[in-house]
Structure 1
Amino acid sequence: MQQRPVPYRTISATIGMVVLAALLLLLIYDIRRVLVWIVVALFFAVALYPVANFLERRYPRAPRSVATLLVFLGVFLVLAALAAVFAVPLAREATDLAGQLPQLIADARAGRGPVGGLLERTNALEWVQQNQARLSEYGRSLATPALGIAKAAATTVAAVVTIFVLAYLMVLEGPKAVDGALGLLGDSRRAERVRAVGHDCAKTVTGYLSGNLLISVICGVLTYVVLKVLGVPFAGLIALFVAIADLVPLVGATLGAVVAVAAGFLHSVTAGIVVLVFFVLYQQLENHLLQPLILSRTVKLNPLTVLLSILVAVELAGILGALLAIPVAGIIQTIARDVWDHRGGRLKPEPTVGEDRRSAEA
């Protein structure tokens, strides 16, 4: 049987699609930083969207722009209050550190104190003295890329401002965008189904963000109490770093624990051992009690799914992937569950939350 030749039109269309796909991938790679900002802003907008809707329903005479502005002003005031609460002790401890730094360096050079004793026992002080010229040259080379540091700082400020503005506009224009997208579906029953699934996805994101923040606050407070009781200096700075690091799943808590344990051993061997035991016990508490108790009420993911999603997301997108892995997995689970129900002929009559399909309105 003789095969018919492939039409030139089909070949041309295939080549064109391949070229367009390559150009699209190249465009995505070039604007990857902006796409990351959009994704982060979208997650913040999803978390704040229900609050703006509540204020709009509570005060129907006020326009949505006022409700959105009040929500973001409230967020700004909360962040400013937290910064003010931490600013005084952090400034005091940073000033103390700056005042003690020359004495700490002198003690380390003389082999005194915890740092000096450690350097003396490991012969690191002798190595530093032998390579002092090389280390000085390396230090001067580190001072040269000041322009790069300034550029990175400016990029960070621009990213924060851009994410804030994008999130504000997403919350403000959210109802119009949602209604316009649902209007393209035509069928009202299908639009209600999509709206219900979107409501479930938004609840997943909001629950994850609030739950993860609560877990980090608990970790930071407990770390501060332990370090303060043991008399470890700069307990506030270390606890704040531990709380921020704990926001990153899988590796954040370990990174914070390493810094806190190192600070404990620098203070005294007893303090280091106590801090190490505390973090070992706290990791078990967080992994087996806090996370299942808090996240299971919102995201409804089993531990194996959480671990696999984090590992895959870290490999694909690094730290940002680790931050977004659990809510994205929850969204995929919500959509897959709805598709399964739809294939079984059971459409959701109302928005629901979680595996037990509790009413979102209740």
Structure 2
Amino acid sequence: MAAQRGTEPGAGAPEVVSGVGVRGGDAPTAAPSTDPAARPRTRWMIPHGLDVAAGLAWRVVLVAAAGATVIYVAGTLSVVLVPVVLALIAASLLAPEAHVMSSRVRWLPHAVATAIVIIAGLAVVGGVFTGVVYAFISGLPQLTSQLTNSFTEIQAWVRTGPLGLNNQQFTQIGDQFLTSLQESQATIAASALGAVGTVGELFTEGLLALFTLIFLIHDGGAIWRFLLKAVPRTVRGRADVAGRRAFASLVGYTRAIIVVAFIDAVTAGIGLWLIGVPLAVPLAALIFFGAFVPTLGAVVSGAVAALVALVSGGITDALLVVLLLLAVQNLEGYILQPLFLGKSIKLHPLAVVLPIACGLVVAGIPGALLAVPLVTVLDTGIRSLTRPGDADVDPASVNPLDPRSARPEFADPTINVGAPDP
């Protein structure tokens, strides 16, 4: 009977269904798979948030390490890098003029046009510096006498003012000052020797910048085509367009900042002369050069002008100078910069101040001077690389010597492709 029951269907006899062993009355159970990917994970899984944070962390560390490496290399080669960058900025100002001269005057070789614009540029810069130094030397005696009078007034105030120092105490303070000055003579001498070394270094960097400027103006197009060979052929055309637009933005920025700085200097110089501040011409020149460092340069040059006015004419002249410089800054911020710089660059004020601060920390005054032009070039170049429309633009239609080429809507098919362009 048992054997008979065991053979009856549905009597609980074991069956094999599709390779799955089951017992009678039980649900089918899958056999263990031999595929490792199909096995259930027995180890704990990393939380998704931690996985994303770790991925972002190592990428940020990698980018920061790359940036630190670039900054370190740039700082190590700053003696060479700074003159080259200055020559590039000067080329953005002089190369269009050389190109115009050699293209409109057919009999004039491009080498001669290069020599003419470089000599003219050096003459203008040398004349400006000569005039500033002459005005400073001629106004120095007047400023010295005013400083002496101011020191005498300070002495009288120290004796008769709230401090109430008598002659013996005042003499003792003066002796201590002279003693400390004599003790620092060695430091002053060492600083003088360092200044002589700095002058020699500046002279060497100036020669390097001049040498680089000559070849950037004369062979700028050939140099750029040589650099493009390092770019993969599939994206070479797009990189060419981005580089041309970036240099065009540098041309527009250099022209605009010079015009804005000149108007600021002339306006401030006339105002200082009307107020009666001595050394009005050197102070105007300082305001001119300070305009090349947005925001920070205006503060420094304005503080120097207000200090000279305070020493020479008292608190009234100092307040008048402060009001004058505030008016000049409003004229620059609301009229001149939108009129000239607005067509060349479109940067947020925070994107101007932060690079200047970083450049000042990393490379000092040269870093502050070169921060905004560098950001301008990078902004235009990166925008061109990421803009979909520039992928189909013919590089020959983008003139790097024309500031309009920095805008994506500009393309001139009539450009002479064989013209020497940086």
TM range (shorter): 0.7 to 0.9
Out of 117, 126, 130, the residue aligned to residue 71 of structure 1 is 117
State the secondary structure of the residue aligned to 1:300.
coil
Equivalent position of 1:239 in the other structure: 284
Give distance in 1, aligned partners of 2:207 and 2:162.
47
| TM value normalised by structure 1 | 0.77
Out of 306, 317, 320, the residue aligned to residue 271 of structure 1 is 317
**Residues 1:108 and 1:129: Cα distance change in structure 2 (over 3 Å):** farther
The range that moved more, 174-183 or 240-249, is 174-183
Matched, 1:357 2:409: yes
As a proportion of its length, which structure holds more helix? Answer: 1
Give distance in 2, aligned partners of 1:44 and 1:285.
26
Letter of the 2:215 counterpart: L
Equivalent position of 1:258 in the other structure: 303
Give distance in 2, aligned partners of 1:116 and 1:289.
46
Give distance in 2, aligned partners of 1:49 and 1:348.
24
**Residues 1:132 and 1:152: Cα distance change in structure 2 (over 3 Å):** same
Give distance in 2, aligned partners of 1:86 and 1:271.
22
Equivalent position of 2:385 in the other structure: 339
Q: Shift in Å at residue 69 of structure 1?
A: 0.9
Describe how 1:13-28 pairs up with structure 2 within 5 A: none
Equivalent position of 2:418 in the other structure: none
Cα RMSD after superposing both structures:
3.5
Equivalent position of 1:248 in the other structure: 293
Mapped contact 1:248–1:319 kept (Cα < 8 A): no
Mapped contact 2:245–2:384 kept (Cα < 8 A): no
What are the ranges of 5 or more consecutive residues in structure 2 without an aligned counterpart? 1-35, 37-67, 399-403, 416-422
Matched, 1:281 2:327: yes
**Residues 1:76 and 1:149: Cα distance change in structure 2 (over 3 Å):** same
**Residues 1:69 and 1:233: Cα distance change in structure 2 (over 3 Å):** same
Equivalent position of 1:210 in the other structure: 255
**Residues 1:61 and 1:288: Cα distance change in structure 2 (over 3 Å):** same
Structure with greater contact order relative to length (CA < 8 Å, sep ≥ 6): 2
**Residues 1:228 and 1:328: Cα distance change in structure 2 (over 3 Å):** same
Q: Which structure has the larger Rg? A: 2
Letter of the 2:310 counterpart: F
Matched, 1:163 2:209: yes
Matched, 1:50 2:96: yes
What are the ranges of 5 or more consecutive residues in structure 1 without an aligned counterpart? 2-21
Give distance in 1, aligned partners of 2:330 and 2:71.
42
Give distance in 2, aligned partners of 1:56 and 1:331.
26
State the secondary structure of the residue aligned to 1:202.
helix
Out of 373, 378, 392, the residue aligned to residue 327 of structure 1 is 373
Share of identical aligned residues, percent? 22
Letter of the 1:198 counterpart: G
Give distance in 2, aligned partners of 1:218 and 1:80.
20
Q: Shift in Å at residue 154 of structure 1?
A: 1.5
Q: Shift in Å at residue 139 of structure 1?
A: 5.5
Equivalent position of 1:223 in the other structure: 268
Letter of the 2:221 counterpart: P
Q: Shift in Å at residue 29 of structure 1?
A: 4.8
**Residues 1:29 and 1:276: Cα distance change in structure 2 (over 3 Å):** closer
